[in-house]
Chain A
Amino acid sequence: MKDVVLEKVRRALRGRPAIDHPGPMPDDAGARAGKGTDSPTEALADLVEAFRLRFQANGGEVVRVGVSEVPAWLEGFSCAFASCAVGRLVPPRLTPPIPEAEPEVAHLGVSLARCAVAGSGTVILDARDGRRAQLLPRTHLVWVRATEVVGTLGEGLHRLRGGAPSALGLHSGPSKSADIGQVLVTGVHGPGRVLVAIVDDESDPSP
């Protein structure tokens, strides 16, 4: 059947002029977040702030946690949850001090994102982290390193081209639907609450 279909396509195109690919998308300045600046530190702060605004507008939550503040913050945050399912890519120091459980029953899912996109308010998750922990628990905590926050989706995807995982998940906020009488509800079927924790880790080598 492959040959039949391809032959039909070739015959359909016979005599038609080729049309060139137009090249890269026009500068997605409209979808770019952050203002222009020469200082790398300022630029980063800009991007993180832009991500925060966009992700919050999408219905998500964002915190920025200094590397030394992580243990205290993590303890404070996770004490509200009885159990967590932790992704494979999450290092021990970013793992909540509460009992672990399977994603099917855990109250909190914890992931480490590959990167975050300020322009669209998106975190890009890797299948190697574990898909179920990213989708099944009602609350999802996503860690992302501040240095992995980029301006546009194009940049984010470009970094990840030719990657090894079987799948990438682009999450831009909590699960939502307006299928019931056009009223917005969250949490059907993915997590109804997503919190992105941006961690500064200048001094920390990758785990």
Chain B
Amino acid sequence: MAGGSLEYGRKSRDLLEGQPEVRESVTGAALSFDGRRSAAYAEVDVEAWRRWAEGVKSHLLSELDRHLERAEANLLRNGAVVHWAETDGDARRILAELADRYGSRLVVKGKSMLSEELGLNGVLEDRGVRVFETDLGEYILQLLEEPPSHIVGPAIHRSLRDVQRLFHELHGTPLHATPEALAEAARAVLREVFLEADMGISGGNFLVAETGTLALIENEGNIRLTTSLPPVHVAFVGIEKLLPRWDDLAGFLQLTSRAATGQPLGSYVSLIHGPRRPDEVDGPEAVHVVLVDNGRSAVLADPEAWEVLRCVRCGACANACPVYRQTGGHPYGHVYSGPIGAVLTPGLVGLEQTHPLPFASTLCGACAEVCPVRIPIPRLLLMWRRRAVAGGLTDRTTARALGMYATLAERPGLFRAATRLAGVALPLARRLPLLRGWGVGRALPRPQGRSRWSREGAE
């Protein structure tokens, strides 16, 4: 999937031309999320919260090794089992071993971007294990065999009609079924699966080092069920997802909920310490937590890029981004899309495979204004761009053309001469690769020969 980022330009164009309804769906959803986030931010002293959250995460990252060791010690004390995965291959191997050990045949999953990043479903499917995504949006995508296009609303690129048609084919619901009827159909199917599943897989929003507590935020209840009904629960957590203290939870749970969906708090929050205790009637008998690196320690080592690791995966940046909302996440070619995807993916995967992404931006700065942990996304976009150019990864023609423009702009005499020629030259220049895309749908200016100031007289 990583190589797919190189095709960002072509994929965006194809999507805009071939599937204009996607732009409509994504824009509608993004504006709706962003509006609610804005209202939720306005209810509280959000600037103070954001600075505090930035401080907590920056502190965490600056002492990450110590907090990771504490988290493990406390999880073990709670009766959980802890695994460490340096790479995605390690994570897949750990899951395969667990599936074999427990003889799992039917697995339910809560929404987890990390599980997509690690390619976990494939591991299970290769072993003939049936896997069901239980988040309604992810369930729809699983039936469509598509990847998610947004962190919080994975199926926002799909309309009601798409789902009506899909469920009519697969579940036999009427073609004009209401959303309520479609949801009821999904509930019925997935309820059976929940009750029979022998393993539940989740990600993790936060892992509290002080107490060994895994926190998961949601609205449907599928994560509470995934982590409560099956006898085994396996959670995959990126090493950057820790919080130092129990008392940090309230602030992060609320800030993340406001940023993601505009709610004071998600409808359900699971705070999980470990497997069921002797005096409990239900809950998993075994809880496994897999701490995953997969490139995060390399990003941490980067003196500029490390700040992206504060990300709480709220999706607020994508909702605010005028570029993202034209296409949704698929053209980005990687699990993390939108503004955070553009600055995180080059760090995780390497700039060689992802260099178009930092250029998928107008640098308007909307993302930085809404980020709950104040990641300086525009500054990081520029940093990656500089590194892409310095590394010879970008198109030479563009660089040379811009260099020529810079030369002209620094020499007023040459600039004046060039504008006199421009009346003749521009229609020809339209045909150059540099201006061809720009010229589609735009009328190029017609230079007047003499500057407007000299004609009208400066005041």
Binding site for B on A (CB under 8 A): 1-2, 4-6, 8-13, 16-22, 24-26, 28-31, 54, 58, 88, 104, 119-122, 127-128, 130-132, 134-135, 152-154, 156-158, 161-162, 164-183, 185, 187-191
Contacts and interface: CB of A to CB of B under 8 A. Distances in A.
Contact of B183 (A12, A20, A187): A187
Contact of A31 (B58, B264, B273, B297): B264
A25 B54 CA distance: 11
Contacts of B159: 181
B179 A183 contact: yes
A131 B72 CA distance: 25
A28 B282 CA distance: 35
B65 A171 contact: no
Contacts of A134: 224
Contacts of B398: none
Interface stretch (B188-196, B311-319, B360-368): B188-196
A136 to B, nearest CB: 8
B211 A128 contact: no
A169 B224 contact: yes
A30 B245 CA distance: 22
A116 B270 CA distance: 15
B342 interface: no
Q: Which has the most chain A C-beta neighbours within 10 Å: B58, B227, B264?
A: B264
Given A172-B267, A177-B219, A6 B65 contact: yes
B264 A5 contact: no
A149 to B, nearest CB: 16
Contacts of A5: 68, 84-86, 239, 291, 293, 297
A120 to B, nearest CB: 4
B69 A6 contact: yes
B122 to A, nearest CB: 21
Nearest to A178: B153
A128 B69 CA distance: 28
A166 B224 CA distance: 13
A188 B269 contact: no
B19 interface: no
B163 interface: yes
Contacts of A11: 297, 301
Interface residues of B, number: 103
9 contacts: A4-B84, A131-B224, A135-B221, A157-B247, A167-B271, A170-B270, A172-B263, A179-B154, A185-B180
Contacts of A10: 65
A18 B67 CA distance: 13
Interface string B270-296: 111111110111110000000101000
B58 A12 contact: no
A21 B244 contact: yes
B85 A21 contact: no
Given A166-B272, A180-B183, A9 B264 contact: no
Given A9-B293, A13-B62, A167-B227, 15 more contacts: A2-B72, A5-B68, A12-B298, A12-B306, A13-B65, A25-B247, A26-B45, A127-B276, A130-B282, A152-B250, A166-B273, A167-B273, A168-B271, A190-B225, A190-B268
A190 B180 CA distance: 14
B64 interface: yes
A122 B254 CA distance: 11
Given A161-B211, A177-B219, A30 B246 contact: no
Contact of A122 (B49, B229, B265): B265
A195 to B, nearest CB: 15
A51 B298 CA distance: 45
Nearest to B258: A31
B35 interface: no
Nearest to B214: A167
Interface in B211-232: 211, 219-222, 224-225, 227-229
Contact of A6 (B32, B68, B187, B248): B68
A30 B69 contact: no
Contacts of A19: 55, 58-59, 61-62
Q: Which has the most chain B C-beta neighbours within 10 Å: A10, A12, A16?
A: A12
Contacts of A156: 250
